[in-house]
Structure 1
Amino acid sequence: MDWETVSFDHENHVTTITVDRPDRLNALNVETLEAFDEALDEAAARDTRVLVVTGAGDDAFVAGADIAYMKDMSVADAQTYAELGHRVVNRLESFRAPVIAAVNGYAFGGGCEVALAADIRVASERAVLGQTEIDLGIVPGWGGTQRLARLVNDEVARRLVFFGERVDAQDADQYGLVGDVVAHDQLDAVVADMAADLAEKPAFALQSAKEALNQVHRMHLDAGLQYEQRLWSGLFGTEDQKEGMTAFVEDREPNFE
Structure 2
Amino acid sequence: MSQLNFMMITASPDVAAFIEQHGVARIFMDQEVLGKAERQGHLDTHKAAHTLEQIAGVASVLKHAELMVRLNPLHVSTLSEVDAAIEHGAQRLMLPMFSSRDEVGQFLELVNGRVPITFLAETAASLVRLPDWLGLLTPGYDEVHIGLNDLSLSMGLSFLFEPMAARLLDPAAAVLNQAGVTWGVGGVARIGQGELPAETVLGEHVRLGSEWIILSRAFHSGAATSAALLETLDFPAEIEKLRQAETYWRGTDESMLLDNQRQLAECAYRLGNRGAA
**Is TM (by shorter chain) over 0.5?**
no
Q: Which has the higher contact order (CA 8 A, sep 6+)?
A: 2
TM-score for both structures, normalised by structure 2 = 0.29
TM-score for both structures, normalised by structure 1 = 0.31
